[in-house]
Amino acid sequence: MKIIWRLLDFVKPFTKEVLLSVLIGVATIGAGIGMMGTSAYLISMAALHPSIAELQVAIVGVRFFGISRGVFRYLERLVSHSVNLKVLTRLRVWIYEGAEKIAPAGLQSQRGGDLLNRLMADVETLENFYVRVISPILVAFVITLGMSLFLGSYFLPLGIILAVGMILNGLLLPTLSILMTRNTGNQLSQTRAMLSADMLETFQGLEDLQAACAENRWLQKVESGSKSVGRIQLYYGFLDGLNDGLLLLVSNLTLLAILIAAIPAVVAGLMSGVSLAVVSLLSMASFEATNPLPHAAQNLTASVASARRILEMIGSGPINTTELPELSPQQIGSAERIEIRDLSFAYPGSEDQALQHINLTIERGKITALVGPSGAGKTSLVNLLVRFWEPNNGEILLDGKDLQQYSGESVRRLFGVISQSNYFFAGTLRDNLLLADPQAKETELLAAIHTAELGPWFDSLPDGLNTWLGEQGARLSGGEAQRLAIARVLLQKPPFILLDEPISHLDTETEKNVLTTLFRVFTDKGVLMITHNLAMLDKTNEIIFISEGNVLERGNQSQLLLQNQAYAHFWDLKRNEIRVDLPLN
């Protein structure tokens, strides 16, 4: 019930429009009932050959109800879908805001396809909650009450019989549907999510799967998931057929009971024969209001399952999303140093400390290198600096002020990040550069491109800034991608630069050229270079050697090599790797 109340919270701002939709829905079914009733009266009376004047009202009534039913149906769909789109817009915005606040820490446990399924398929499933669950229930309640009272005014037992039949259709059968789909809704959501995740991973890794001749195993996995989804959907199809049969059975049995009760009343003179025809067709038409409810019950279980998955995702983030003040542009522009004091951190569920008692300073105009083997905790430090995670102990200070007192979004404006795999969207060169500064003019974009030493490459592009970069920048080489990331950071104008393995996967010559560019264009920034590569470390002001989350040594390269301890040993190992990688003559 808590989940249902959470879903209903999204409808509260649109209560008036929902009530209008229900009112028009009642009018739509009421017009259908009126058309059936007046038609029954017209045909029955015409069989008695009365004067045409006695039939005029019924004739006009059939025309009125026939036309108004179509008008009301159009208005009902117009209003209900308008409300539904507004509610879903509000829901989607809330989901994306919630996901953004916990990203990436709160989403790392999610498979990509599963996450995509929650954001798309599960939200689309909730569309049924507002159009095919709430409105039909309210409309059915009003029609059941109104028609039971109306038939009861003819003959009390008829109203009671109709009420019992409609309650069976509107309450008992939906309850049966809920019981039969109570677990199936969760199974369908989970199975569909697993299938989506498997398909996405299969397509993303298809090249590697083909290289390893393993594509058939993954295709079998996808096929198995598809069959599982198909079985559940087949069960829903069977349930739909069963519900349709039971609905028809209950409505016909109700009609039979009404005839059994009404015929003696007609014989006794309590009702006219014409009234018998009218109440019979009215009772049949009334079931239009309750017939959608078993299907609404199925939509309810599916919507609850989807809502639960979404709420689990939004509530999974470890970061405190309480509103915090933002760093002002003046604070960001005048920032001089970031100081890390006694910082310790462990990932949730892990007993091992990723970082232990780390102390370092990032100052403007200086380059600090954080060096160590893979898994030493270097990238974890970047994640803490940009507030993707929060430290367990210690503090990060900006000019003496604790950054945890400010919002994560404003803290991230302090840093320009260039990693080993910078992300580029499937868009134009201009689109990807404007991510850093949406207000940047074309002259600024061109200046950043040339400062990042992309001038010759840019001049060779026939479409210039409108050049399509491809999916994830597929049309860029490794060196071009890193330089384009530099250009993007230049447009961002942050006071501090985080270089997270910026030259990984590049050849030796490109490594040197990219690092030379980095050190040249960011001379006035505070730079923290995280690497296990030895290239150009002699150009840094300080090297901090880290292993298993602990700082073992610090100093410049000459000092650390003279000490002949952990860093020197690491240096020898990396130099030997380089020699082994050299081609033999």
User: 353-373: per-residue pLDDT in tens?
Assistant: 888 888 999 999 999 988 888
Question: Which residue from 345, 351, 350, 360 is spatially nearest to 551, judged by alpha carbons?
Answer: 360
Q: Which fold has domain 2-314?
A: ABC transporter transmembrane region fold (1.20.1560)
Inform me whether the pLDDT recorded for 545 exceeds 80.
yes
Pairing state of beta strands 496-500 and 542-547? unpaired
| pLDDT value of position 445 | 92
Three-state DSSP class for residue 568 = helix
- Tell me the average pLDDT across 438-450: 91
Contact 355, 138 (CB under 8 A): no
Q: Which residues pair with 468 in a beta bridge?
A: 428
Between CA 491 and CA 329 the distance in angstroms is 15
How far apart CA 401 and CA 395 sit, in angstroms, is 10
Domain positions in the chain are: 2-314, 335-414+497-585, 423-493
According to the model, what pLDDT value does residue 54 have? Answer: 82
Tell me how far apart the alpha carbons of residues 29 and 26 are, in angstroms, rounded to a whole number.
5
Q: Is the pLDDT of residue 119 over 60?
A: yes
Q: Is the pLDDT of residue 584 over 70?
A: no
Please, what sign has the CA dihedral across residues 573, 578, 584, 585? negative
In the chain, the amino acid numbered 466 is N
Mean of pLDDT values over 543-549: 87
Name the packing angle between helices 15-46 and 52-102 (round to 10°): 160
Q: Give the range with max mean pLDDT: 89-103, 256-270, 321-335, 349-363.
A: 256-270
Q: What is the pLDDT of residue 307?
A: 79
Q: How far apart are CA 497 and CA 500, in angstroms?
A: 10
In whole angstroms, what is the distance from residue 337 CA to residue 331 CA? 11
List strands edge to edge, sheet with 415-419.
415-419, 496-500, 526-531, 367-371, 542-547, 550-555
Q: Which helix (H) or strand (E) holds 555?
A: strand 550-555
**What pLDDT score does 513 carry?**
79
What is the spatial distance between Cα 10 and Cα 89, in angstroms, rounded to a whole number?
Answer: 10
Euclidean distance between CA atoms 175 and 196, whole angstroms = 31
- With cut-offs at 50, 70 and 90, classify the pLDDT of residue 23: very high
What's the whole-number mean pLDDT along residues 173-202?
Answer: 80
What mean pLDDT comes out for the span 209-218?
83
The class that CATH gives domain 423-493 is alpha beta
Q: What is the pLDDT of residue 581?
A: 46
Measuring CA to CA, how many Å separate 573 from each of 25, 142, 181, 563, 568? 77, 80, 61, 16, 9
Which of 3-17, 160-174, 317-331, 523-537 is predicted least confidently? 317-331
Backbone angles phi, psi at 493, to 5 degrees: 60, 50
Helices (H) and strands (E) in the chain, counts: 23, 10
Q: What is the pLDDT of residue 117?
A: 66
Q: Work out the mean pLDDT of the chain and round it to a whole number.
A: 84
Q: Is the dihedral of CA 201, 206, 212, 213 positive or negative?
A: positive
The average pLDDT across 7-27 equals 86
Please tell me if the domain spanning 335-414+497-585 has the same topology as the one spanning 423-493.
Answer: yes
Over the stretch 412-431, which tens digit does the pLDDT of each residue have? 889 988 887 788 888 899 99
pLDDT, position 579: 46
Strand, helix or coil for residue 367: strand
* Spatial distance between the Cα atoms of 229 and 203, rounded to a whole number of angstroms: 19
Q: Mind giving me the DSSP string for 227-281? A: HHHHHHHHHHHHHHHHHHHHHHHHHHHHHHHHHHHHHHHHHTTSS-HHHHHHHHH
Q: pLDDT value at position 74? A: 94
Q: What is the pTM of this model?
A: 0.65
- Structure token digits, residue 89: 């817009």
Q: Convert the pLDDT of each residue in 507-516 to its tens digit.
A: 777 777 778 8
Predicted confidence (pLDDT) at residue 321 exceeds the cutoff of 50 = no
Q: Quick one: what percent of the chain has pLDDT higher than 70? A: 92
Q: What is the pLDDT of residue 105?
A: 63
Per-residue pLDDT band for 110 (boundaries 50, 70, 90) equals low
Under DSSP, the state recorded for 468 is B
At a CB cut-off of 8 Å and minimum separation 6, what does 522 contact? Answer: 497
Q: State in Å, rounded, how far the first CA of the chain is from the last one.
A: 74
CATH architecture for residues 335-414+497-585? 3-Layer(aba) Sandwich (3.40)
> How far apart, in whole angstroms, are the C-alpha atoms of residue 103 and residue 92?
16
pLDDT band of residue 319 (cuts 50, 70, 90) is very low
pLDDT band at 253 (very low <50, low <70, confident <90, very high): very high
Q: Which tokens in the block code for residue 140?
A: 């059915």
Helix (H) or strand (E) holding 361: strand 355-363
When pLDDT is cut at 50, 70 and 90, the band that residue 255 belongs to is very high
DSSP 8-state secondary structure symbol assigned to residue 288? T
Give the position of tokens 């989970």. 190
Predicted pLDDT at 259: 92
Q: Report residue 417 as tokens.
A: 């990040």
The residue behind tokens 């078993």 is 294
